[in-house]
Amino acid sequence: MKILFLFLFSIALVFPIHALEWENLDQSSRISGRKLSSAYMTGKVVLVSPDETHANSLQELWERYRSNPFILHGSYDKTPAGVTFPVYKEANINGAPAAQMYVVDALGDVVYHGAVIPDAIEAVVISLTNLAVPPDYSSWKKYFEFEAKELPGKALLRLADAAKDKKLKKVAFSNTEKKARQPLEKTLKSNPVFARLAKLESFSSSVKDSNRSKKRQKVSKAQVMQKIKEFEDLKTHENPVVSREAKNCLADLAYAAAEM
């Protein structure tokens, strides 16, 4: 039996996911599924289950949301379960004491910690929904400010989407909010590298959307490989925020291409 051991302080502990130091996320501890890294989890919803009996339920969840900004760690009895989501023998966070399921949202907040799988799944669904469509302007602002610092390409896309949303636009583009956001927005829009990241993020999303919906025109493997080549230079950019976001997008594209 291959078991993933995860440790968490408590649900009251809130911390930014980009600051987490995950141990043992390396080739030697990987049992199956794609190779992960701590940086890859930035801005994504993460669920961890150390209980191999959850394998079948989690496999269904993974198949449903794998095209979303969602990461699932799991453990399972390798032979009979045959699950495809990433499984690591160990993935430790500083501290202890409980090896239970938990869900971390895209802002790095622990939104569930316990042993009830329906509750964990509900937390994942809510977190993914809020990430895609924040319920109010206050939430939108939190995501935007987080992404502006950690995922500038995504931040530019979120800003563009807000301009198309009639209800959100009234608040987000009011004189007061525009003035408060101006320095950050200027930094984002004046950087041509961030604009390239936004294009990369947009293409990565289109690939995921085409895989998720039968109605959408499929993106070809050749198109994906061409985009990987086009943006590959960003992986070694001197700005670590740029290189991390680029690596994350390119990893998604490489994974998508491998499945085509």
- For residue 140, the one-letter residue type is W
Q: Give residue-wise pLDDT tens across range 14-36.
A: 444 445 566 667 777 788 778 88
Q: Are residues 169 and 197 in the same domain?
A: yes
> What whole-number distance in Å separates Cα of residue 31 and Cα of residue 91?
12
Confidence of residue 1 (pLDDT cuts 50, 70, 90): very low
What is the SS3 assignment for 102? strand
* Total number of domains constituting the chain: 2
- 140 with 159: CB under 8 angstroms? no
Claim: this prediction has a pTM higher than 0.85:
no
Last residue of a domain, one of 83, 113, 131: 131
Q: Are residues 123 and 139 in the same domain?
A: no
Q: Are residues 67 and 181 in the same domain?
A: no
- 214 with 170: CB under 8 angstroms? no
- 172 with 136: CB under 8 angstroms? no
Q: Are residues 217 and 154 in the same domain?
A: yes
pLDDT of residue 226: 96
Residue 106 lies in a domain: yes
Q: If we measure between CA atoms, which residue out of 19, 18, 26, 23 comes closest to residue 7?
A: 23
Q: Are residues 54 and 151 in the same domain?
A: no
CATH code at position 22 = 3.40.30.10
Q: Which of the given ranges, 40-49, 51-60, 206-215, has the highest pLDDT on average?
A: 40-49
Q: If we measure between CA atoms, which residue out of 99, 152, 101, 149 comes closest to residue 122?
A: 101
Percentage of the chain exceeding pLDDT 70: 81
Residue 11 lies in a domain: no
Q: Are residues 228 and 249 in the same domain?
A: yes
Last residue of a domain, one of 131, 152, 170: 131
* Residue position matching structure tokens 């994942």: 124
